[in-house]
Each structure stands twice: as C-alpha cells, then as structure tokens.
C-alpha cells in the first residue's frame, strides 16, 4: 500500500535568543493510505509539532516529510488534506454555512458543487438547523462539528485531526467516531492525535506513540497491545520506560 | 485571485457585523448636524466651515477605520488560531496578506465614500456648492492614501499585536502628515545628526500630505492637472506595493507562537 504520510528522520529545533529546544528528534513515521492512524503521546511530546510540520506551518531543521509523495513545503501538498486543529476556534461573526462556503472557495470549488457539498456536510455533522446561525452562538460541541465539516469540505484523501474528541460529551464523541468510521469506509486516511486512549482503541488500525520528540512504538494496534492488556496500560508502560525530562 | 477575494470578503463580513463602522457613521452625522446648527461666521462662512470640518473628520475617521481594520486582521487570526485551518488549505501566506489588505482597504474606501456623500449632502442642503471634478480627484487621492495607511498597518501587524501595531501606525501616520512635509523648512535651521534624521524622515515616510485636496475642495480652487493626479496616484501605488512586499517578508516565515509545541 502506498504511503499517505512519509516522515524520515525529521528534526525540528526551536531557537530562542539564548536557548534552543529540540521539539522533534529524528522522528520517522509512515502512514499507509486508507488507514486510521492514532498518534499518541504525553503533553509536549511533539504531536502537534509533527502535524504542524505536515501542514507546512513549521519549517523543519533536518529530515524529510511528504504527503502522497509531495514535499510538505509545497502548498500543492495541502490540496488533498483536511485539518481540524485542537480546540478549533473560528470566525464568530460568520454563520456555519458561510464558513463552509468560504472554506470551499479557498479550494477553488465551483458554486453549484460547493452548495451541494455544504448541504451534505451540514447534514452529516447534524448542524442543518443551526447552519444560518452565527458561529459565536454555537456550543463547544457544535464548534467542533463545524470545524470537522470545514476540514472535510474538499473531500480530502487525508484527514488530520488534532484531539478531535477533546472536550466533547459522549454524544459528541460518538458522532466524531461515526464520521471517522465513514471516512475509513470511503477509503480515506485519517491521522489523528488523542489523549482519549479508549477512543483510539475503538477506531484505530495503526498507531504510533511519540515521546520526547521521537517515535517510541509504532505498528498495528492489535499487534502492539498484547492480549489481556489495555492500550492505556501499554501506553503507560512504553512512556515510563522513556528517560525522564521534556524535550518538545 | 479567488483565494485573495474570498479572504477579503471575510474582512467585509466582519466589519459589517461589528459596531465600529456604524459608530463612526453616527458620530460623523451627529458632528455635521452640530456644525450646521452653529452660525458663528454667517451663512456663507458656515457652509465652507462645515465642508472643511466635515472633510477633516472624513479623513480622521477613514484613518481610524483603516488602521483598526487592517491592524486587527493578522494578529487576530493568530490569537484565535484561525490561521491554522486557513493555512492548512492551499492558501499561501502571500494570499493571506493580500486578502487582508484588500478587504481592509476596500471597506475603508467604501466608508470614505459614505463620509464624503454625507459631507456633500449637508453642504448642498445648506445651499453651498462643491466642484464635482475637484471632489472626485480628492476622493481618488484619499482612496490611494488609505491604500498606504492600510498596507503600512498590515506590514506592522505581521510582527506585533493589534494594540502595538495600531499605536505604531498612528504615530507613523501622524509623523508622515505633520513632520515629513515640513522637513525642508526645518532643515534650514538644522545640521549634523538632526539634519540627517530629518532627511531620513523625509525619504523614509510616505508623503501623505500630497493626497490631501481638502483645501482645494473647500475653497473651490479648481481641479489639479491630470498629469499631477496620475503622478501622485502612481507614487501612492509604489508605496502600497513596497509596504505589501514588506508585509509579506515579515509574514512568510513567521512562526506562530500559540500551539507550536504539542
């Protein structure tokens, strides 16, 4: 299977005036097309930094990173990506529908196709009734769902989700799981980070655990976690074996 | 271009749905009516006075609107982290800078047109007259000046918070209006370091006074030659392009502070 994401020996060093912080250290990762890939790690491990490199927000110091074979530094690499940031905040003065129309126009979508796609997505995230309300009046869960809808506007082949269930109630989490399952069924690749290990166990085919800017475990979820052990126990075992101290 | 227009449309929607714009409009209408009710200089004097003060307020309000709109755009995207989903799309940082500037400039120019209409309306109501060609020329140059003001503010805001960017922009605009034009007369009395500093100001700041035709409009001195108008407009366009280039250079490699570490 071809790789949707290919990262080799990626290093990112943030330089301040008197110090430098190695956020990623020779991180290598391969995400096959059509998989749901969980990217786990404690706070400050380098998950968001890795995602930001993939999205071209941060320049890396060494190594390489590509999406569907295109270097992440090329803006064309982002044509096939959808991204939901952690705690998505968006323009409170726009309505949900206007936000999705704007997102579609940024992908150069034609008006007719865009309208149809916006209607479809609003149904999918259960926001049809609130589509013409300003986003400033949305609840936390609704914000997350409209954020997810804007990430899917271009029918992306790779969806990058940073803590997609963070702060959601059980119903909201179930909705996100359903959407991820639909994406998997449609053959899309989902790359997501989460602290909710039970969620990860439910939806992921593959996972990687990152600690102090390095991948410390990677593989099929069923192969990594031995029988009788939960993902949480496995995660804690792997992380606790890592030397103490924060890098990224 | 589609992406730039989409981003500028967001600036428009924000401004239309915020109160700043309406506050400025109401304030201008109120001020004009207060001026109308005064009759200190006799009828003829009052009409000219209303036009003069009205156009002065049109300039002041346009600068306030331009700086507050343009200065807020980029820092707000970063502070609210809306920049991330935006840049995750096939949008370049140059698109973001251009879109934000275009939106800020066009909304400022549209409001300036409204301010001019209000002033002209009041002057006509009062029985006064304004030469339409001079007025049109004044408006065109005013619009170009607002291009410089918004581009300057966007350029500063690439590296500063909204408050800091707005403050620096106001200081530079005040300097450009009040000091840059007087440098030649000040230079007569100065030498050495001060003279070099004044020269730096003279060449380093845009000469916004060139775009101000208020006196010509109020006192009906007649239109300026087309060639002069074109030359001043071109001077303004060059400044806008230069400032947008600076803005892009300041933004293209910027590392956003929030959420950079995960």
Question: What ipTM was predicted for this assembly?
Answer: 0.81
For the segment A41-52, the average pLDDT, to the nearest whole number, is: 86
| Domain assignment of residue B260, yes or no | no
Q: What total number of domains does chain B contain?
A: 1
Answer yes or no: is pLDDT of A43 > 90. no
| Domain assignment of residue A247, yes or no | no
Chain B positions in Cβ-Cβ contact with residue A84 (cut-off 8 Å):
85
For the segment A207-221, the average pLDDT, to the nearest whole number, is: 85
Answer yes or no: is pLDDT of A141 > 60. yes
Q: Does B227 touch chain A (CB under 8 A)?
A: no
| Domain assignment of residue A109, yes or no | yes
| Domain assignment of residue B258, yes or no | no
For residue A142, what are the domain limits?
A: 3-241
| Domain assignment of residue B257, yes or no | no
- Give strand ranges (E) for chain A: 3-15, 20-32, 36-40, 62-67, 70-71, 81-84, 158-162, 189-193, 206-211, 214-220
| Domain assignment of residue A246, yes or no | no
Measuring CA to CA, which residue among A201, A187, A203 is closest to residue A230?
A: A201
- Across chain A, what does the average pLDDT equal? 85
Reported as a pLDDT band with limits 50, 70 and 90, residue A243 is low
Out of A126-130, B61-65, B243-247, pick the least confident. A126-130
Q: Does B1 touch chain A (CB under 8 A)?
A: no
For residue B101, what are the domain limits?
A: 2-251
Out of A61-65, A85-89, B209-213, pick the least confident. A85-89
CATH number at residue A123: 3.40.50.300
CA distance B15 to chain A (A): 9
For the segment B208-225, the average pLDDT, to the nearest whole number, is: 88
Contact: B260, A58; criterion CB under 8 Å:
yes
- Per-residue pLDDT, A227: 67
- Across chain B, what does the average pLDDT equal? 87
| Domain assignment of residue B218, yes or no | yes
| Domain assignment of residue A129, yes or no | yes
The number of angstroms, rounded, from the C-alpha of B7 to the middle of its chain's C-alpha atoms is: 19
| Domain assignment of residue A248, yes or no | no
Give Cβ neighbours of residue B1 (< 8 Å, ≥ 6 apart). none
Cα dihedral angle (B162, B164, B166, B170), rounded to 10 degrees?
Answer: 180
Measuring CA to CA, which residue among A70, A168, A81 is closest to residue B86?
A: A81
| Domain assignment of residue A143, yes or no | yes
Reported as a pLDDT band with limits 50, 70 and 90, residue B60 is very high
A6 phi/psi in degrees, rounded to 5: -135, 115
pTM for this prediction? 0.86
Measuring CA to CA, which residue among A202, A33, A164, A177 is closest to residue A87?
A: A164
- Per-residue pLDDT, B44: 52
| Terminal-to-terminal C-alpha distance of chain A | 31
Measuring CA to CA, which residue among A243, A211, A80 is closest to residue A154?
A: A80
For the segment A108-137, the average pLDDT, to the nearest whole number, is: 91
Of A59, A108, A150, the CB nearest to B2: A108
Reported as a pLDDT band with limits 50, 70 and 90, residue B248 is very high
- Per-residue pLDDT, A245: 42
Q: What total number of domains does chain A contain?
A: 1
| Domain assignment of residue A134, yes or no | yes
- Per-residue pLDDT, B261: 35
| Domain assignment of residue B224, yes or no | yes
The interface residues of chain B toward chain A in range 56-85, judged by CB-CB distance below 8 A, are 80-82, 84-85
Contact A44, A245 (CB under 8 A): no
| Domain assignment of residue A148, yes or no | yes
Contact B112, B204 (CB under 8 A): no
């Amino acid at each position: 299977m071809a790789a949707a994401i290919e990262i080799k020996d990626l290093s990112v060093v943030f330089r301040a005036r008197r110090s430098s912080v190695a956020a990623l250290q020779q991180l290598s990762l391969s995400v096959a097309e059509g998989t749901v890939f969980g990217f786990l790690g404690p706070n400050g491990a380098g998950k968001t930094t890795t995602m930001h490199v993939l999205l071209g927000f941060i320049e890396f110091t060494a190594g390489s990173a590509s999406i569907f074979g295109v270097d992440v530094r090329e803006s064309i690499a982002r044509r096939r990506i959808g991204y939901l940031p952690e705690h998505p905040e968006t323009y409170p003065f726009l309505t949900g529908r206007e936000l999705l129309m704007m997102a579609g126009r940024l992908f150069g979508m034609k008006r007719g196709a865009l309208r149809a796609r916006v209607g479809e997505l609003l149904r999918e995230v259960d926001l049809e009734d609130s589509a013409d309300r300003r986003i400033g009046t949305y609840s936390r869960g609704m914000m997350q769902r409209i954020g997810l809808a804007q990430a899917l506007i271009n029918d992306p082949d790779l969806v990058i989700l940073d803590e997609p269930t963070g702060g959601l109630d059980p119903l909201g989490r179930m909705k996100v799981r359903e959407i991820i399952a639909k994406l998997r069924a449609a053959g899309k690749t989902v790359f997501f980070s989460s602290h909710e290990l039970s969620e990860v166990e439910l939806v992921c085919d593959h996972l990687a655990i990152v600690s102090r800017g390095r991948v410390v475990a990677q593989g099929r979820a069923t192969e990594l976690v031995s029988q009788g052990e939960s993902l949480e126990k496995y995660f804690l075992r792997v992380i606790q074996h890592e030397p103490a101290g924060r890098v990224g | 271009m589609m992406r730039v227009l989409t981003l500028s449309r967001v600036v428009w929607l924000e401004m239309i749905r915020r109160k700043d714009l309406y506050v400025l409009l109401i304030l201008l209408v109120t001020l004009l009516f207060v001026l109308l009710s005064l009759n200190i200089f006799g009828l003829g004097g009052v009409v000219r006075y209303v036009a003069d003060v009205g156009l002065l307020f049109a300039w002041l309000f346009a600068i306030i609107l331009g700086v507050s709109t343009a200065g807020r755009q980029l820092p707000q995207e970063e502070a609210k982290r809306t920049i991330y989903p935006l840049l995750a799309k096939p949008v370049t940082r140059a698109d973001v800078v251009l879109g934000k500037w275009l939106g800020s400039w066009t909304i400022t120019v549209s409001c300036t047109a409204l301010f001019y209409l209000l002033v002209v309306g009041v002057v006509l109501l009062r029985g006064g007259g304004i030469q339409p060609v001079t007025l049109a020329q004044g408006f065109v140059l005013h619009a170009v000046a607002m291009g410089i003001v918004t581009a300057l503010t966007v350029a500063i805001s690439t590296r500063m918070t909204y408050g800091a960017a707005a403050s620096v922009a106001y200081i530079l605009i005040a300097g450009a209006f009040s000091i840059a034009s007087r440098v030649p007369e000040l230079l007569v009395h100065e030498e050495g370091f001060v003279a070099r500093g004044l020269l730096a100001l003279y060449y380093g700041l845009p000469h916004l006074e060139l775009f101000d035709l208020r006196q010509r409009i109020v006192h009906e001195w007649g239109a300026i030659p087309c060639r002069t108008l074109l030359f001043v407009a071109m001077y303004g366009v060059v400044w806008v392009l230069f400032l947008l280039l600076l803005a892009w250079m300041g933004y293209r490699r910027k590392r956003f502070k929030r959420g950079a570490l995960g």
